[in-house]
């Protein structure tokens, strides 16, 4: 195996897959209630990634569908059905585009319960808290 | 042999991030030595192209194996994350979580330079922001912690847990480990069992001063994990080791 250096590669910025994994963890907040974090002022980017149906099928059970549906709706990326549809090729392609190819370059994620703001800068979400918030 | 990842992309970030050293290379060797376990247990189902007869997509067909989630805490340079991707393959999702913003940027740059397909970086303290959603879903967890025994002043200067208000977290957070170098390790260990998937494994770099025997005993008695010393090496004055922790099997 041979590796090549960086110039032609693009950076990895926060995918909606990662957003689907992040929760508010401020002390005494109710993370289940505030999940998913609301994305504010997003600069979105779509980057192409190779589609692998097996990879996507294996990813489906690890996603929180309700949270993904809410986020996709809020970002105007489409109305997903309330129940996760059957894993047809077409559905997996849609999901691939949504969770792996859609990235948040900048903006913030806001907790709807405690209103904490987690900034996203250069595609990296900042989940660190102040000492008195832990 | 898997080559050491291309670290040319790391140069602009030095000396603000941890430059791979003996402990890093021991971890790479230990992971490579455990390659069979990593590959066979964490490989996704074969792609249709690889199968003798392509399997049509069936809605009712449950996946043979879920897509592996691989998480490195404190990736620093991103060297280990990129190495794991070469070892396990690109059909897994990789996350690096680091408190140091420069380490986050470095990890992203090195992962990109090494063509890690599905990797994201999160700036955070251990897995705090992801723990609930990652519960029972992490197939490989890796941590080369700040293990050097330090006094309280040095540890405070390293701005540990949640101290975002004390300014940006710097390079000291990469090594300052407090009493017996165990402060950060002992904060993570009780959460490991909950994070690991049924087939999951946790790889931890330790030094002699961390008291690996005591860690092994605590793993069995308190943290509900089966410990194993995977590899040991002496590097100068440091007695380094890589421990592996898994669920206690019923067999
Ligand atoms: Zn909150």
Lowest model confidence (mean pLDDT) among A91-105, B132-146, B151-165, B230-244: B151-165
Calculate how close chain B gets to A76, using CA atoms only, in Å. Answer: 23
Mean pLDDT, range B97-114, rounded to an integer: 95
* Minimal Cβ distance to A124: which of B46, B117, B123: B123
Coil, helix or strand at residue A107: strand
Given this model, what pLDDT does residue B106 score? 96
- Structure tokens of A39? 């994305």
Residue B247 has pLDDT above 50, yes or no: yes
Given this model, what pLDDT does residue A5 score? 28
- Residue of A4 and B144 predicted with greater confidence: B144
Nearest chain B residue to A37 by CA distance is B129
Given this model, what pLDDT does residue B168 score? 57
Determine, for residues B113 and A50 on separate chains, whether the beta-carbon distance falls below 8 Å.
Answer: no
Sketch out chain B's domains with CATH numbers: 26-35+65-247 (3.40.50.150)
Residue B166 has pLDDT above 80, yes or no: no
Residue A3 has pLDDT above 60, yes or no: no
Predicted confidence band of residue B43 (pLDDT cuts 50, 70, 90): low
Calpha distance B98→B121 (Å, rounded): 8
Determine, for residues A131 and B130 on separate chains, whether the beta-carbon distance falls below 8 Å.
Answer: no
Given this model, what pLDDT does residue B250 score? 62
Predicted confidence band of residue B1 (pLDDT cuts 50, 70, 90): confident
Residue B167 has pLDDT above 60, yes or no: no
Mean pLDDT, range B155-177, rounded to an integer: 65
pLDDT tens column, A37-95 = 999 999 999 988 899 999 999 999 999 999 999 999 999 999 999 999 999 999 999 99
Determine, for residues A122 and B105 on separate chains, whether the beta-carbon distance falls below 8 Å.
Answer: yes
Residue B59 has pLDDT above 60, yes or no: no
Determine, for residues B112 and A6 on separate chains, whether the beta-carbon distance falls below 8 Å.
Answer: yes
Which residues touch B55 (CB under 8 Å, ≥6 apart)?
B48, B61
- Residue of B87 and B155 predicted with greater confidence: B87
Full-model pTM: 0.89
B125 reaches A (C-beta below 8 A): yes
Q: Which of B45, B46, B67 to mutate to test the interface with A (most CBs of A within 10 A)?
A: B67
**B228-246 as b/e, with b when 16 or more CB fall inside 10 Å?**
eebbeeeeeebebbbbbbb
Nearest chain A residue to B168 by CA distance is A128
> What's the mean pLDDT when you consider all of chain A?
89
> What ipTM was assigned to the predicted interfaces of this complex?
0.91
Among B150, B167, B162, residue whose Cα is nearest residue B187? B162
Mean pLDDT, range B79-89, rounded to an integer: 96
Residue A99 has pLDDT above 80, yes or no: yes
Sketch out chain A's domains with CATH numbers: 2-126 (2.20.25.10)
Q: How many CB atoms lie within 10 A of CB A61?
A: 13
Question: How many A from CA of A22 to the centre of ligand 1?
Answer: 11
Determine, for residues B63 and A128 on separate chains, whether the beta-carbon distance falls below 8 Å.
Answer: no
Among A61, A56, A72, residue whose Cα is nearest residue A104? A72
Residue B50 has pLDDT above 50, yes or no: no
Residue A1 has pLDDT above 60, yes or no: no
Given this model, what pLDDT does residue A11 score? 56
Predicted confidence band of residue B63 (pLDDT cuts 50, 70, 90): very low
Predicted confidence band of residue A12 (pLDDT cuts 50, 70, 90): low
Question: How many A from CA of B184 to the centre of ligand 1?
Answer: 24
Calculate how close chain B gets to A134, using CA atoms only, in Å. Answer: 6
Calculate how close chain B gets to A26, using CA atoms only, in Å. Answer: 9
Determine, for residues A52 and B114 on separate chains, whether the beta-carbon distance falls below 8 Å.
Answer: no
Residue B42 has pLDDT above 80, yes or no: no
pLDDT tens column, B168-220 = 567 788 787 888 889 999 999 999 999 999 999 999 999 999 999 999 999 99
pLDDT tens column, A107-120 = 999 999 999 999 99
Predicted confidence band of residue B158 (pLDDT cuts 50, 70, 90): confident
Among B163, B69, B169, B78, residue whose Cα is nearest residue B118? B69
B193 reaches A (C-beta below 8 A): no
Question: How many A from CA of B150 to the centre of ligand 1?
Answer: 33
Q: Is A21:A71 a contact under the CB 8 Å cutoff?
A: no
């Amino acid at each position: 195996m041979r590796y090549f250096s960086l110039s032609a590669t693009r950076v990895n910025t926060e995918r909606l897959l990662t957003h689907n994994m992040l929760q508010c963890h401020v002390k005494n907040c109710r993370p289940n209630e505030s999940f998913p974090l609301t994305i504010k002022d997003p600069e979105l980017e779509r980057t192409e990634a190779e589609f692998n149906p097996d990879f996507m099928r294996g990813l489906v059970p690890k996603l929180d569908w309700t949270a993904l549906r809410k986020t996709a709706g809020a970002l105007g990326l489409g109305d997903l059905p309330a129940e996760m549809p059957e894993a047809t090729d077409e559905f997996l392609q849609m999901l691939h585009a949504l969770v792996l190819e859609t990235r948040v370059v900048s903006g913030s994620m806001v907790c709807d319960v405690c209103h904490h703001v987690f900034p996203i800068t250069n595609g990296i979400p900042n989940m660190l808290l102040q000492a008195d918030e832990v | 042999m898997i080559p050491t990842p291309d670290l040319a992309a790391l140069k602009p970030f030095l000396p603000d991030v941890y430059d791979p050293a003996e402990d890093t290379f021991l971890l790479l060797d230990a992971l490579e030595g455990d390659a069979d376990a990593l590959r066979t247990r964490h490989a996704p189902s074969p792609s249709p192209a690889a199968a003798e007869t392509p399997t049509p997509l069936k809605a009712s067909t449950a996946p043979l194996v879920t897509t592996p989630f691989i998480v490195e805490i404190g990736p620093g340079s991103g060297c280990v994350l990129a190495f794991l991707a070469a070892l396990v393959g690109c059909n897994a999702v990789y996350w690096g979580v680091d408190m140091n913003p420069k380490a986050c940027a470095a990890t992203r740059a090195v992962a990109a330079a090494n063509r890690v397909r599905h990797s994201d970086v999160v700036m955070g303290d251990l897995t705090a922001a992801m723990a609930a959603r990652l519960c029972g879903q992490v197939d490989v967890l890796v941590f080369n912690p700040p293990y050097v025994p330090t006094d309280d002043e040095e540890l405070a200067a390293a701005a540990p847990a949640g101290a975002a208000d004390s300014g940006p977290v710097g390079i000291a957070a990469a090594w300052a480990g407090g009493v017996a170098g165990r402060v950060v390790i002992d904060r993570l260990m009780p959460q490991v069992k909950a994070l690991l998937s049924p087939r999951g494994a946790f790889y931890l770099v330790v030094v002699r001063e961390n008291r690996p025997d005591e860690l092994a005993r605590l793993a069995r008695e308190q943290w509900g994990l089966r410990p194993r010393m995977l590899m040991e090496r002496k590097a100068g004055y440091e007695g380094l080791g890589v421990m592996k922790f898994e669920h206690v099997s019923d067999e």
